[in-house]
Amino acid sequence: MPGTEAHERRSLRAVVAILLAGIVLLVALALSGLPARADSGDDKKDDAKKDQEASCTMNFTLKGWSAFYKTAKGEGTITCRGGGSMKVKITAKGGGFSFGTQEVTDGVGRFFNAKSIEDCLGGYAQSEAHAGAGKSAEAQALTKGDINLTLTGTGKGVNVGFAFGKFTIEKL
């Protein structure tokens, strides 16, 4: 059919533009959850600063694949400011327009508004846009009620797409 090749190029450009917009949105969401710096002085400013700091952190690894359906598994360790740590199992499942494999080897999660280490466990709503070939970086912002979790990490893989799903953290 005449013009089909030009239409396919326009469609591919539209998909790439949507993916890039999703990545920009994802990074903006992840950065908005990072703690703000305060010059402080009085107690109210110090209390506000503590509320903005991550109450717990998680170091993790994650490995998975996607072909419309997305799945990943991994392990990590959560450590809280108030003391204590816990080894955890991580699973991520969802779907969307997503293809490829990925492995996050140096992942870091930051939990905000968690009162205890147990508050970090459970299922988080997840949405992501991703594109990578070889070495890659990832950033996500997830929520579970009042608890927010930002994830950043580096690793390797070949993947492209966007997906929605559930990110679950369980005691190991």
B/e letters for 72-90, b = 16+ CB within 10 Å, e = fewer, are bebebebebeeeeebebeb
For the chain, the straight-line distance linking the first and the last C-alpha, in angstroms and rounded, comes to 57
Q: What is the pTM of this model?
A: 0.68
Q: Do the Cβ atoms of 103 and 60 come closer than 8 Å?
A: no
**Three-state SS at 54:** coil
The pLDDT tens digits for 105-162 are 899 999 999 989 999 999 999 887 777 777 777 788 899 999 999 999 888 888 888 7
